[in-house]
Amino acid sequence: VTEPDHQISIALAAAARFLGESGVPEPRVDAEILLSHALAWTREELLARLDEGLSHRDLQKFNRFVSRRGDRREPVAYIVGVREFYGLRLKVTPAVLIPRPETEVLVERAIALRPGRVLDLGTGSGAIAAALAAHLPDAHIIATDASDEALAVARKNLPKRVEIRHGRDFQPTAGEPFDLVVSNPPYIPTAEIDRLEPEVRHEPRIALDGGPDGLDVVRRILRSGKKALIEIGQGQADVLRSEFPGVRFHRDLAGIERVVER
Ligand SMILES: C[S@@+](CC[C@H](N)C(=O)[O-])C[C@H]1O[C@@H](n2cnc3c(N)ncnc32)[C@H](O)[C@@H]1O
């Protein structure tokens, strides 16, 4: 006999209620993802087996994940260790920014440009470089990051043919020619970081902090004079338009000018 709280449907409902009360935006979805992870099942499997029982051990494991999500507001991706980006399953840890759907705008434009040699500056999990590698089979791709811990994650996500180098800005590739530089650099103004939702504070500061107006690294890339596609934040396009005449912008699905191209 299964105790009532050991039934999948009941455990899910209780977890979703707790997560909702904790301020988590999508409590039911998160509860399902976390229970699937605890059981090492797919979400489809879980939803087909709601009437089944849970072992005491699995319930405890699930409750630990739920507490990390609700009490500590850890992002789901860090708890389960993977995140989907551009159709790829990427490993993620708190050493890397969690890849965001809006970055797919930059990837699409980069693929359309068909570069032969491309630099992904600030690769993090390797998200952009991995997507380019999957769609540009002949491109020579170099991925760099100022964080060694991030590169250890990128190494797990990137195919062997992507060159990985450590260093800040253009230091690891000084003087080398590229057809295109792609980058999703840190672009949040320093003072705004602590006002963001609690999940973001689990992400690495070096991946977020773009200096006083958020544009420190963006400007350094634009000043290099190289052909570039760089992700930016909402409201940052106008200042770049006036500082760098001739740049153009690509909008994301929400209509926000998300990528600067020069
Ligand atoms: C916003 S994250 C983007 C990660 C990944 N490209 C993505 O789109 O998900 C920015 C990354 O740039 C790295 N970074 C920050 N400043 C840098 C710099 N000056 N030079 C190189 N990398 C830098 C951070 O360590 C972090 O991994």
217 lines ligand 1 (CB under 6 A): yes
Distance (Å, rounded) from C-alpha 236 to C-alpha 166?
A: 28
Candidates 170, 176, 187; CA nearest to 221 is 170
CA of 142 to the centre of ligand 1 (A): 14
Digit-coded pLDDT (tens) for 145-166: 999 999 999 999 999 999 999 9
**Chain-wide mean pLDDT for the chain?**
97
- Identify the pLDDT of residue 6: 87
Per the structure block, which two tokens stand in for 227? 């052909």
The pLDDT of residue 2 is above 70: no
The pLDDT of residue 137 is above 90: yes
DSSP string, 15-83: HHHHHHHTT-SSHHHHHHHHHHHHHT--HHHHHHTTTSB--HHHHHHHHHHHHHHHTS---HHHHH-EE
Candidates 220, 219, 136; CA nearest to 179 is 136
Digit-coded pLDDT (tens) for 81-115: 999 999 999 999 999 999 999 999 999 999 999 99
CB atoms within 10 A of CB 163: 15
- Identify the pLDDT of residue 4: 67
233 lines ligand 1 (CB under 6 A): no
The pLDDT of residue 214 is above 80: yes
106 lines ligand 1 (CB under 6 A): no
214 lines ligand 1 (CB under 6 A): no
CA of 35 to the centre of ligand 1 (A): 31
- Identify the pLDDT of residue 5: 72
Query: Which residue has the CA at smallest separation from atom 13 of ligand 1?
Result: 122
